[in-house]
């Protein structure tokens, strides 16, 4: 278990509202959450997401509901106050403490603890609440397969996966790390990204991959564990929020993918930072690495090697110049006498 996801639906007899939302996180850190409060009088206008849906699908539908619901001024005003209340309450109890308790509650399948945590957050707003929850234990791989099931590409995006240069390449999907991942805009060509192969691989290539990663495929050829692949190309698909990327899977095998520009991909952040630092240093070397004396010595050495004459004035050159000057002066005087100037 790498992540937990808790979807909830709450009602109260004290207030005429319902609360829907989710909390998502991993063992350490702060949770990600979304909450929406809707007056019961407004409920007929909206379709609430079913908490029995998978986390990815539930989250997507809740996001849609949220942006639809807040167009109503009453719902918008209510949720400005409600969100401020939830944020201050979580901050007061400690976001990391709540996250750790929630993780343990889901890991141990302790529904009472999960409900107690959520009730404690909402009770000052709603009073005693009736809670329905559905919790999920998730791994990085689970998130990939859930995302795969809920993708919806247009024909334009699909056309990139069928380009001639990648027609025989297997489709891959980078592992999602919604909390600590990096988006494609923050990654450079050459950076390592963890991904899973989600498309059948040609037998010859599959054998090569199994040799390279003997513990990451099952007998049927399904990629079960993530592969550290290398990003070798990325291009924004015009007019969309998607990128087309190519990944080096090893042994000369190229993977392809179309991903959202907002997808947070699982990476080794320390390795990425070190690679970016070295690239920056290579293309922009520190000024103290360029030393002027070395440059002058190099030029002097080139002159000597080319046997270039040195600019030194010899004594014989001075005598020749002096003689020519005297001759010119005498010639000018004689020319003046002949012309009657003197």
Closest of 82, 79, 88, 98 to residue 31, by C-alpha: 98
> Contact 76/32 with Cβ under 8 angstroms?
no
Q: In what order do the strands lie in the sheet with 32-39?
A: 32-39, 17-25, 3-12, 129-138
Is residue 169 over pLDDT 50?
A: yes
Q: Which of 101-110, 124-133, 252-261 has the lowest mean pLDDT?
A: 124-133
Q: Which residues, 6 or more positions from 15, have their beta carbon under 8 angstroms from its beta carbon?
A: 125, 126, 127
Q: From CA 157, how far away is CA 159, in angstroms rounded?
A: 5
Q: Which residues, 6 or more positions from 211, have their beta carbon under 8 angstroms from its beta carbon?
A: 251
Q: From CA 195, how far away is CA 265, in angstroms rounded?
A: 9
Q: From CA 69, how far away is CA 79, in angstroms rounded?
A: 10
Which pLDDT band holds residue 320 (cuts at 50, 70, 90)? low
pLDDT value for 105? 92
**Comparison of pLDDT for 271 and 108, the residue scoring more:** 108
Mean pLDDT of the chain: 81
Q: Please, which residues bridge with residue 234 across strands?
A: 245
pLDDT value for 286? 63
Closest of 9, 51, 4 to residue 23, by C-alpha: 4
68-93 mean pLDDT = 88
pTM above 0.75, yes or no: no
Q: Which of 111-125, 129-143, 222-236, 291-305 has the lowest mean pLDDT?
A: 291-305
> Contact 225/138 with Cβ under 8 angstroms?
no
Q: What angle do CA 36, 264, 96 make, to 5 degrees?
A: 60
């Amino acid at each position: 278990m790498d992540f937990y996801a808790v979807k909830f639906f709450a009602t109260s007899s004290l207030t005429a509202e319902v609360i829907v939302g989710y909390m998502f996180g991993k063992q350490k850190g702060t949770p990600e959450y979304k909450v929406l409060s809707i007056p019961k009088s407004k409920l007929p206008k909206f379709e609430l997401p079913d908490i029995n849906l998978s986390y990815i699908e539930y989250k997507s539908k809740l996001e849609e509901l949220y942006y639809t619901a807040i167009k109503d001024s009453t719902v918008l005003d209510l949720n400005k106050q409600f969100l401020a209340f939830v944020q201050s309450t979580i901050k007061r109890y400690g976001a990391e403490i709540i996250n750790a308790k929630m993780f343990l509650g889901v890991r141990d399948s302790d529904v009472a603890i999960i409900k107690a945590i959520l009730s404690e957050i909402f009770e000052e707003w709603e009073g005693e609440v009736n809670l329905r929850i559905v919790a999920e234990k998730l791994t990085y791989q689970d998130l990939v397969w859930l995302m795969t099931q809920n993708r919806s590409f247009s024909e334009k995006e699909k056309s990139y996966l069928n380009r001639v240069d990648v027609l025989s390449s297997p489709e891959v999907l980078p592992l999602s790390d919604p909390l600590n991942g990096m988006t494609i805009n923050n990654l450079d060509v050459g950076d390592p990204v963890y991904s899973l192969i989600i498309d059948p691989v040609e037998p010859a290539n599959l054998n090569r991959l199994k040799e390279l990663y003997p513990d990451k495929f099952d007998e049927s050829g399904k990629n079960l564990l993530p592969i550290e692949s290398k990003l070798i190309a990325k291009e924004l698909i015009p007019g969309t929020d998607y990128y087309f990327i190519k990944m080096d899977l090893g042994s000369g095998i190229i993977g392809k993918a179309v991903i959202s520009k907002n997808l947070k991909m699982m990476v080794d952040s320390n390795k990425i930072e070190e690679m970016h630092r070295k690239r920056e240093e290579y293309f922009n070397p520190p000024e103290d690495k360029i030393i002027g004396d070395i440059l002058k010595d190099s030029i002097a050495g080139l002159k000597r090697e080319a046997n270039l004459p040195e600019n030194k004035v010899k004594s014989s050159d001075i005598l020749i110049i002096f003689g020519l000057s005297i001759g010119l002066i005498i010639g000018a005087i004689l020319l003046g006498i002949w012309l009657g100037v003197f």
